[in-house]
Every structure is written in C-alpha cells, then in structure tokens.
C-alpha cells in the first residue's frame, strides 16, 4: 500500500524537468512576437504610406496650382546666382554647377517656421514661398519664432531683388494685398511680396484630430505619420515630391511633434567641397551633394576601368568616412529612400549603421547597395540640363549621373526617431 501510494505522484525532480521543458517552449514562442510586431509595423507602413501621400497631394493641390510658380528669370536673376547653392542649379561636391534650361529650377524646399521655447505658435509650419521671411526682411512685421529658408539672407548681394525661396509668378501676384503694409513701398517692392501659402504641422499629420461623439469635447489622436514636400520646375512643368515618414518619440510615448531645426552637433562632417547643413536651411528633406559627375566616384561609376555594379555606391565600403547617428550620413541607412535631381527614386537595400575603422572590432559597414540599378538618364533637356555644353560628353555628361539626393534624416535634435516610409513625385 505504501509503495503504491509513493508511485502515484510526481517527484520534485520530475516537476522541475517539466517546468524546464515548458519554459523552453514558452521562450521559443515568445521570441516570435518581436518579429511579428516588426512585420505588422512594416505592413501598416506599406499600407498607410501611399494613403498619406495621396492626402498630402490633395492638400497641396487645394492651395497651389502650377501658375502660382515662376522662374528666377522673372526677377532678373540667373538660376546659378547662389554660390554655392542649389537654387535653380545646385553645385556638386566638385564645385561644378551644371547648366540649367532657362525658366527651370532644381528641387527647392519650402521655408520653415520653428517657433521659440516660449511661443510655439505655428511651430513646424512650412511656408512654400518663404513669404514670412520676405515680410520680416522688409520690416512689414516681425513674427515670433525662428525661420529657415532655401535661400538665406546672405545668399545674394544687397542690391539683388528680394527673393528668399521658391520663385512665384509675379504676373499672378503683382501687388501686396495689404494696403496698409504696401502704402510705404514702391511698386517694385510691392511686386516682390510673394503669396503666403502655408501648411501647418497639423495639416501634415496623420491621423489628424478626430471628434469624440460621446461628448462635446474634441479629442486628438496622437499622429504617427507626417509628410513634407519640395518642388521643382522641369520643362516648364511644376513637380512636387512628397516624403512620408513615421515619428517615434524617445521611449515610445506619444507626444506632440514638430519639425526641429538642424542641430550642428548632430550633422557630422560633410565631404570636402560641399555646402554644410546649418540651422538656417530647411531640415526636411535634407540634401546631400553626390561626388562630381564623370569622376571615379560618380553615382553611378561608369568611367573607371573596372567600375562597380551600378546598384553599389562608390566610396562607401569599410574604412571610408561614416558617422553613426550623424544626420549628414543618414542617406546611407538601411531602407533609406532618396529622390535625386532627375526625380528618380532610390531605396537603400544594404546600408551602414555601425561606425568604426577597417581594423576595429566594428568596422564601417558597406558598401551601400541600392534596391535596383541607377538608371541611365536620357539626354537633356528632358531632365533640365542644357544640351550641347562643353562638358556634355559620353563620359562626363552631367545628366547621366546623380548630382544630389534628398532624403529624410533618421533623428532630430529632440531625440525623435524618424523612419522614412514612402516617397512619390507627381506633377502639381
């Protein structure tokens, strides 16, 4: 009886062994959850990205039309009057400015209003024609907050016309609409006050505020996605590029988000001969000047004796300059999305995240590899480069190479993590 009773249960060793086996199974299953969450997030991004972009284009077209835009020639300016600069015709890292078809201009970003620590009114608002900066420069009013524009106040001589950003159509907007502000201005100054077309941070958020029908209070759902844009005039037609990105606050807690000014401490060291990012230039998207076209480091490299595959970016292998977490080098991050000066889109398949040296335990990753080969662009003027110029040869033709790329940085000065989701280019 006693022997039978002793064999009816489980011993402590057997229980511990069963718990151990169960624990292994639970741990194995739980390891699948992070991967499942990541896949779910990616699926959501793939679904929401095009929706946000379509909403953005509808919002932009509701306020802007192609005839709102003009050219630098409308103001008696040459597109290359900035040196260095990218207004109308950008400058490559080799200090070369490719010729531009008259009336066209390359990608230009709207101006930004950032606000101040004590006054966040309109913080994060983009100003398409930088009209706020123009009105401040002409002492018409002094808005609170810090401003940034594609063309800074030191971008032209004092005798040049007042044009702080994207050129507008002076024939459509010939006079300043405020008679009080215009009373003390001559006709030329009145003509040079561009239209005020703005998009607030809330307008560029998704999802936006939603009504709580159970009460009279309006509740706000914390947005997760945002969009920003830039414009160019190519072949007389205006195009708009929309960048959709997801913002994750430090710690993952939802909080209000606005576009921050660029932080010089986070920028990093740009390549020699390029224009550095400053707090006075628009931070989203950022622009990176590709190596001088026609050289051994061109994107793509088609001039070297043994050129690399066109989907691999030269000079991005282990040991080459790279700063982890530096916004200037974020164009090399995995899954990063670019738009180049031709309007083509590129996505990074294999990127770089870890900084180091060729001999360290964590060498620089690389080289950067794209999802697909860089296309061979047709000859000008279809891509806005003047044909039959002296340097327009089969090996050094500017329009055959990428000269600059625009992208969304992966972090900002507030510590937010910014993840590029979707990019599109369409005619306005």
pLDDT at residue 298, rounded to an integer: 77
Mean pLDDT calculated for residue range 187-212: 75
Task: Look up residue 373 and give its two tokens.
Answer: 């080969």
pTM value is 0.81
Mean pLDDT calculated for residue range 393-417: 75
Give one DSSP letter per residue of 362-394, joined into a string.
SPPP---EESSPPPPPPPTTTTSB-SS-TT-ST
Residues 6+ apart with CB under 8 A from 380: 101, 386, 387, 392, 399
User: What does the pLDDT look like over 59-93, one tens digit per residue?
Assistant: 999 999 999 998 887 877 665 444 444 444 555 55
pLDDT at residue 155, rounded to an integer: 42
Count of helices and strands (H, E) across the chain? 7, 16
Checking if the pLDDT of 316 tops 50, the result is yes
Q: Please, which pLDDT band fits residue 161 given cuts at 50, 70 and 90?
A: low
Mean pLDDT calculated for residue range 229-245: 93
Mean pLDDT calculated for residue range 148-175: 68
pLDDT at residue 83, rounded to an integer: 40
User: What does the pLDDT look like over 359-381, one tens digit per residue?
Assistant: 555 556 778 889 888 876 665 55
User: What does the pLDDT look like over 318-371, one tens digit per residue?
Assistant: 777 777 777 888 898 889 999 998 889 999 998 887 655 545 555 567 788 898
With a pLDDT cut of 70, the percent of the chain lying above it is 61
Residue with the two structure tokens 């891509």:
383
- Which residues are 230's β-sheet partners? 241
Checking if the pLDDT of 389 tops 80, the result is no
- Point out the least confidently predicted range of 107-121, 274-288, 384-398: 384-398
Q: Where are the beta strands (DSSP E) in 22-129?
A: 105-108, 111-115, 125-127
Average pLDDT score, the chain: 74
Using CA atoms in the order 259, 257, 411, 240, what is the torsion angle rounded to 10 degrees?
-50
Checking if the pLDDT of 407 tops 90, the result is yes
Distances from the Cα of 162 to the Cα of 85, 165, 178, angstroms: 17, 9, 18
pLDDT at residue 399, rounded to an integer: 60
Half-sphere exposure of 36 (CA within 13 A, CB side): 5
Q: Are 348 and 335 in contact (CB under 8 A)?
A: yes
370: phi then psi, degrees, rounded to nearest 5: -90, 165
Checking if the pLDDT of 171 tops 70, the result is yes
The whole-angstrom distance between residue 267's C-alpha and the CA centroid of its chain comes to 14
Q: Which of 222, 187, 229 is nearest to 208 (CA)?
A: 222
Q: Are 200 and 386 in contact (CB under 8 A)?
A: no
Q: Alpha helix (H) ranges present in 258-385?
A: 264-267
Measured between alpha carbons, how far apart are the two ends of the chain, in Å? Answer: 92
Q: Please, which pLDDT band fits residue 139 given cuts at 50, 70 and 90?
A: low
Mean pLDDT calculated for residue range 41-50: 84
Task: Look up residue 24 and give its two tokens.
Answer: 């292994």
Rounded to whole angstroms, how far apart are CA atoms 347 and 397? 24
Of residues 158 and 368, more confidently modeled: 368
Judged by DSSP in three states, 63 sits in: helix
Checking if the pLDDT of 392 tops 90, the result is no
pLDDT at residue 320, rounded to an integer: 77
User: What does the pLDDT look like over 5-39, one tens digit per residue?
Assistant: 555 667 777 788 888 888 877 777 766 656 666 66
Q: Which residues of 213-248 are buried (b: 16+ CB within 10 A; e: fewer)?
A: eeeeeeeeeebbbbbbbbbbbbeeebbbbbbbbbbe
Of residues 243 and 268, more confidently modeled: 243
In what order do the strands lie in the sheet containing 286-289? 286-289, 404-407, 337-340, 345-350, 369-370
Q: Please, which pLDDT band fits residue 394 given cuts at 50, 70 and 90?
A: very low
Q: Please, which pLDDT band fits residue 401 given cuts at 50, 70 and 90?
A: confident
């Amino acid at each position: 009886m006693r022997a039978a009773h002793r064999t009816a249960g489980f011993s402590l060793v057997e229980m511990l062994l069963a718990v151990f086996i169960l624990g292994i199974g639970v741990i194995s299953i739980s390891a699948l959850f992070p991967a499942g969450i990541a896949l779910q997030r990616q699926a959501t991004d793939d679904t929401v990205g095009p929706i946000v972009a379509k909403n953005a284009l509808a919002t932009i077209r509701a306020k802007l039309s192609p005839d709102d835009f003009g050219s630098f020639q409308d103001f008696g300016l040459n597109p290359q009057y900035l040196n260095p600069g990218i207004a109308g015709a950008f400058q490559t890292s080799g200090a070369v400015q490719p010729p531009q078809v008259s009336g066209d201009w390359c990608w230009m970003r709207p101006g930004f209003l950032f606000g101040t620590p004590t006054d966040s009114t309109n913080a994060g608002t983009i100003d398409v024609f930088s009209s706020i900066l123009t009105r401040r420069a002409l002492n018409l009013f002094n808005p609170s907050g810090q401003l940034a524009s594609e063309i800074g106040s030191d971008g032209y001589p004092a005798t040049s016309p007042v044009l702080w950003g994207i050129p507008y159509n002076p024939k459509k907007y010939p006079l300043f609409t405020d008679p009080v502000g215009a009373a003390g201005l001559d006709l030329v100054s009145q003509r040079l006050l561009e239209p005020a077309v703005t998009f607030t941070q809330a307008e560029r958020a998704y999802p936006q505020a939603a009504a709580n029908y159970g009460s009279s209070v309006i509740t706000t759902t914390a947005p997760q996605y945002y969009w920003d844009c830039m414009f160019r005039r190519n072949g007389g037609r205006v195009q708009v590029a929309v960048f959709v990105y997801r913002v994750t606050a430090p710690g993952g807690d939802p909080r209000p988000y606005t576009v921050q000014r660029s932080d010089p401490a986070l920028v990093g060291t740009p390549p020699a001969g390029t224009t550095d990012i400053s707090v006075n230039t628009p931070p989203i998207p950022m622009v990176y000047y590709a190596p001088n076209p026609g050289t051994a480091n061109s994107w793509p490299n088609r001039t070297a004796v043994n050129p690399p595959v066109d989907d691999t970016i030269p000079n991005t292998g282990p040991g080459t300059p790279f700063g982890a977490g530096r916004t200037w080098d974020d164009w090399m991050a995995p899954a990063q999305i670019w738009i180049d000066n031709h309007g083509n889109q590129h996505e990074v398949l294999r990127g770089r995240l870890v900084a180091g040296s060729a001999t360290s335990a964590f060498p620089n990753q690389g080289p950067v590899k794209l999802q697909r080969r860089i296309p061979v662009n047709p000859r000008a003027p279809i891509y806005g480069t003047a044909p039959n110029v002296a340097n327009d040869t089969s090996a050094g033709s500017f329009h055959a190479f990428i000269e600059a790329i625009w992208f969304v940085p992966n972090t900002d000065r507030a510590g937010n993590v910014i993840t590029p989701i979707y990019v599109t280019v369409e005619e306005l």
